[in-house]
A and B are shown apart, each in its own frame.
Chain A
Amino acid sequence: MTAVLPERPVGGRLIDQFEYGLDAPICLTWELTYACNLACVHCLSSSGRRDPRELSTAEAERVIDELQRMQVFYVNVGGGEPTVRPDFWHLLDYAIGHDVGVKFSTNGVKLDKARAAQLARTDYVDVQISLDGATAEVNDRVRGAGSFATATRALENLAEAGMKDFKVSVVVTRENAGQLDAFKALTDSYGAQLRITRLRPSGRGADVWDTLHPTQAQQRDLYQWLLANGDDVLTGDSFFHLSAFGEALPGLNLCGAGRVVCLIDPVGDVYACPFAIHENFLAGNVRDEGGFQRVWQSSELFADLRSPQTGGACTKCAHFDACRGGCMAAKFFTGLPLDGPDPECVQGYGETALAARDAELIAPRSHLDHSHTGPVRGQPTLLGMPAVPPAVSTPTPPSRICDESPLAGLDLR
């Protein structure tokens, strides 16, 4: 179903223009692989094992050619762990050579001194090292034993190589929310910049969201901290739901899904946003005729998302203009209606809505799961046991396409 497209107003606020979408995304996330050496408990893409249908080098180059034609000036590359793709460094150079700047997220596993020096010599590349605790104790519980050491070694290598403007990327959780100053100090000590983003109940994040999402009190502290430190700290505009505390936070206070943001996943599927890997938000595939451009500009899903937001129950709230109902993915994966409050609504409506959910309700889950099926080295200990997928009641789990891969279960470390 395609909505009758409302007419775009002329002039006015940019945020209103963005609601109607753009000819090309501003912020495109491209996950190059589902393979990962880690098994973080909150992985938003349930990564672990490589998907055999992964885009080939030639296909990835064609996507880059297309992004260049569409003038997508930079992409956020992630995974999985993108650097475990053998052609990662080639694709990085290819993108930069085609006017597509790259910002990539990594756990640091491949950033030895030589790679750090190579990156320091390269223009138009940005690196983000993921770290979810300012201490090994807090970090390794969710990212796995040894992951703090890997990340800080990569940070040391980058600093030593003279790399400028690299980032430390933190997902704020109940366990690390009290470490914001410590994160800032740690980041400063490497001459890096701090980036903090919101925990989403996406992928394996759905399994730990109840345990790990910040409390209301922590959200308020985080909001105050952002107001005080916001100029020096990047957020990917991911905390716009906190704007309903009062003062708007800097950045785009709008759900950009399908409007200014989207995700290309490792097999070329295009989703409305990186936190929405679910069939309901699948707009098409870059392998389809017309490629990425056709998906972005003509998919029915994106056309629907580009209608001005009707906030449903939220429109009556005095803070609706500040938070615009919050994050679509957070609502969806907690089983809340998309036109109601965000589960972490700072006015408390989210908690009420969560409590009012039907006891029988099963929150939607992604159709994809690339989680490691066996234990990995350095298992996160948050769950007190290996982070294997939750037990299924059927004695034999349905076979997944990845299980047929000769590479399934391959240890990539």
Chain B
Amino acid sequence: MALPPGDAPDVVFDAALPWQRARSVALRPEPFGALVYHFGTRKLSFLKSKLLVGVVQTLAEHPSALAAIEAGGVPEAQRPAYVKALADLARSKMIEPREIA
């Protein structure tokens, strides 16, 4: 049995670092964006735009969260809001830091 994510130490979100969708998290596309569900914490969260869904889905392909936001076509003015959204997802363990290979 894996360590319950609630017991993992808190991570601080840094958009300059590489991130990925957490392994025990599933993402279900919906007309407004997506539902994200963490099988470990049994917490449900919502991604309220399709752009954000794209960003979360492609996090693992980019050297940093910021790069994923840029590549996802998020207008410059909205980027701070996306960084905040990712920070919220990191706090609820929906995304996790990625080790650089």
Among candidates B26, B31, B37, B44, residue contacting A17 with C-beta atoms closer than 8 Å: B31
In the complex, how many residues of chain B place their beta carbon closer than 8 angstroms to a beta carbon of chain A? Answer: 15
Which residues of A lie under 8 Å from residue B82 when comparing CB positions?
none
**In the complex, are the beta carbons of B39 and A23 less than 8 A apart?**
no
Which residues of A lie under 8 Å from residue B44 when comparing CB positions?
26, 73
**In the complex, are the beta carbons of B39 and A11 less than 8 A apart?**
no
Assess whether A126 is interfacial by the CB under 8 Å rule.
yes
Assess whether B30 is interfacial by the CB under 8 Å rule.
yes
Proximity bits, B6-50, A CB within 8 Å = 1, else 0: 000000000000000000001011111001010100101010110
Q: Most A CB atoms within 10 A — which of B29, B35, B49?
A: B35
Assess whether A345 is interfacial by the CB under 8 Å rule.
no
Cα separation A63 to B30 with both chains bound (whole Å): 21
A-B interface pairs (CB < 8 A), number? 44
Which residues of A lie under 8 Å from residue B28 when comparing CB positions?
23-24, 71, 73
Assess whether A99 is interfacial by the CB under 8 Å rule.
yes
How far is the CB of B65 from the nearest CB of chain A, in Å? 22
**In the complex, are the beta carbons of B49 and A74 less than 8 A apart?**
no
Assess whether B101 is interfacial by the CB under 8 Å rule.
no
Assess whether A8 is interfacial by the CB under 8 Å rule.
yes
Proximity bits, A1-38, B CB within 8 Å = 1, else 0: 00000001011001001001011101000000000000
Size class of the contact patch on chain A: 10 to 19
Which residues of A lie under 8 Å from residue B32 when comparing CB positions?
8, 10-11, 14, 17
Assess whether A101 is interfacial by the CB under 8 Å rule.
yes
Cα separation A17 to B37 with both chains bound (whole Å): 18
Asked whether A26 and B35 contact (CB < 8 A) given A11-B48, A71-B26, the answer is yes
* Closest A residue to B29 using CB positions: A23
**In the complex, are the beta carbons of A73 and B31 less than 8 A apart?**
no
Residues from 43 to 62 in B contacting A, C-beta threshold 8 Å: 44, 46, 48-49
Assess whether B1 is interfacial by the CB under 8 Å rule.
yes
**In the complex, are the beta carbons of B31 and A20 less than 8 A apart?**
yes
Among candidates A11, A23, A99, A123, residue contacting B30 with C-beta atoms closer than 8 Å: A23
Residues from 69 to 105 in A contacting B, C-beta threshold 8 Å: 71, 73-74, 99, 101
Assess whether A124 is interfacial by the CB under 8 Å rule.
yes
Which residues of A lie under 8 Å from residue B39 when comparing CB positions?
73, 99, 101, 123-124
* Closest A residue to B4 using CB positions: A164
Cα separation A113 to B99 with both chains bound (whole Å): 43
Cα separation A73 to B42 with both chains bound (whole Å): 9
Cα separation A102 to B46 with both chains bound (whole Å): 21
Proximity bits, A327-341, B CB within 8 Å = 1, else 0: 000000000000000
Cα separation A26 to B36 with both chains bound (whole Å): 11
How far is the CB of A183 from the nearest CB of chain B, in Å? 22
Cα separation A22 to B28 with both chains bound (whole Å): 10
How far is the CB of B26 from the nearest CB of chain A, in Å? 6
**In the complex, are the beta carbons of B26 and A11 less than 8 A apart?**
no
Among candidates A20, A22, A71, A126, residue contacting B42 with C-beta atoms closer than 8 Å: A126
How far is the CB of A8 from the nearest CB of chain B, in Å? 6
**In the complex, are the beta carbons of B26 and A22 less than 8 A apart?**
no
Cα separation A10 to B51 with both chains bound (whole Å): 12
How far is the CB of B32 from the nearest CB of chain A, in Å? 4
* Closest A residue to B31 using CB positions: A8
Cα separation A101 to B37 with both chains bound (whole Å): 11
Cα separation A212 to B46 with both chains bound (whole Å): 37
Cα separation A11 to B51 with both chains bound (whole Å): 11
How far is the CB of A411 from the nearest CB of chain B, in Å? 36
**In the complex, are the beta carbons of B30 and A22 less than 8 A apart?**
yes
* Closest B residue to A123 using CB positions: B1
**In the complex, are the beta carbons of B26 and A99 less than 8 A apart?**
yes
Q: A71-B37, A124-B42 are in contact. List 20 more A-B contacts (CB 8 A).
A: A11-B48, A14-B46, A14-B48, A17-B31, A20-B31, A22-B30, A22-B31, A22-B35, A23-B28, A23-B31, A26-B44, A71-B26, A73-B44, A74-B42, A99-B26, A99-B39, A101-B39, A123-B39, A124-B39, A126-B42
Q: List 13 A-B contacts (CB under 8 A).
A: A8-B32, A10-B32, A11-B49, A17-B31, A22-B30, A23-B30, A23-B31, A26-B44, A71-B26, A73-B39, A74-B37, A124-B39, A126-B42
